[in-house]
Structure 1
Amino acid sequence: MCSSSHISHTVHIYQSTDRIINLFKALSLNLCRLLGCLCLHMFSSSDISHLAHIYHVN
């Protein structure tokens, strides 16, 4: 049988996991946004031919 303390402990674990998942979601969203901004900045700059040249050299 489950005691009430065991149930509350399980609920606490679930809440913590949910919080961690939400944190990771927020982090990944911000990371994607940052990468998107970086890519946009790189491709909108006049250095695109220079970058393409570097890419082909490597």
Structure 2
Amino acid sequence: MEILKDQSGQGAAEYILLFGGVIVIAIAALLIYRAYFSGNADVNASSDISTVRSSVK
């Protein structure tokens, strides 16, 4: 029963799950914004920047 009480590997498993979740979120964000950064979509960064700059003035 001593093996069941040993929790020395629990921290490593939690870090693996945490980093795995961060990687999944990063990949999902890249897939969502891929068209935005590639310039193939109707929306692109340069037009957004000029729109924001003109609205600030």
Cα offset, 1:32, TM superposition: 1.3
Runs of at least 5 residues in structure 1 that lack an aligned partner in the other structure: none
**Distance (whole Å) between structure 2 residues aligned to residue 16 and residue 33 of structure 1:** 26
- The corresponding residue for 2:34 is 40
Q: Map residues 8-19 of structure 1 onto 2, 5 A cutoff.
A: 11-12=6-7, 14-19=8-13
Give the TM-score taking structure 1 as reference length: 0.56
Higher RCO, 1 vs 2 (CA within 8 Å, ≥6 residues apart): 2
Give the TM-score taking structure 2 as reference length: 0.57
Runs of at least 5 residues in structure 2 that lack an aligned partner in the other structure: 53-57
